[in-house]
Amino acid sequence: MNGLSDETLELLRAAVRTYTADGPTGDLWPRVRHRIDRPANRPPAGDWMLAAALVLVCLLRPSLMGVLLFHF
């Protein structure tokens, strides 16, 4: 293989955008602090109900615990 032809190289250069920015356009630290200070999201009620159902299944039918562990 001799390499790429000039036409192929020009097509590649035209297809690939060049990245010219030297850094972020603004200070990102205030956004990071706002995100850190924001209260954590609570899991939805459906997740709690699913966890309670799994615990109940494990308590009522311990033999199914192996099947549940296999899937998780």
**Do 58 and 64 form a contact (C-beta atoms < 8 A)?**
yes
Residue closest to 57 by CA, chosen among 37, 41, 71, 39: 71
pLDDT digits (tens, 9 = 90+) for 20-65: 777 767 888 999 999 999 988 888 999 999 999 989 988 999 888 8
Looking at residue 4, what is its pLDDT? 78
What contacts 58, CB < 8 A, 6 or more positions away?
Answer: 64, 65, 68
Looking at residue 2, what is its pLDDT? 63
Looking at residue 1, what is its pLDDT? 46
Looking at residue 34, what is its pLDDT? 93
pLDDT digits (tens, 9 = 90+) for 1-10: 467 788 988 8
